[in-house]
Amino acid sequence: MYGLFIFTRRHYSANVRYQAAAGPRDNANGNAGPYTADGRRIVFTQWVQIHVRRGRCATASAVAPGPQ
């Protein structure tokens, strides 16, 4: 699993790419929204969630694998 988690002062973006089955294409998931932190915990509020799963659409159903 490859991923990137970006924090700004008030917002986050989490993106992961992983291969759930054999083949040349990966699955992906992305989330974004605001968050709050109080020193003990971080609370994420999700505005957007995007799933890219192989075989769910006739076209553009997966992302191409990136450099390893």
pLDDT at 55: 59
> Per the structure, how many domains does the chain have?
1
Domain span at residue 12? 2-52
pLDDT at 61: 39
62 occurs within a structural domain? no
The answer to whether the pTM exceeds 0.85 is: no
61 occurs within a structural domain? no
- pLDDT below 70 — which residues of the chain? 1, 54-68
pLDDT at 57: 52
| Residue 12 vs residues 35, 43, 61, 66, 68: alpha-carbon distances, Å | 7, 11, 25, 22, 25
65 occurs within a structural domain? no
17 occurs within a structural domain? yes
pLDDT at 13: 92
pLDDT at 54: 65
pLDDT at 68: 42
Q: Which distant-in-sequence residues (6+ apart) come within 8 Å of 24 by Cβ?
A: 64, 65
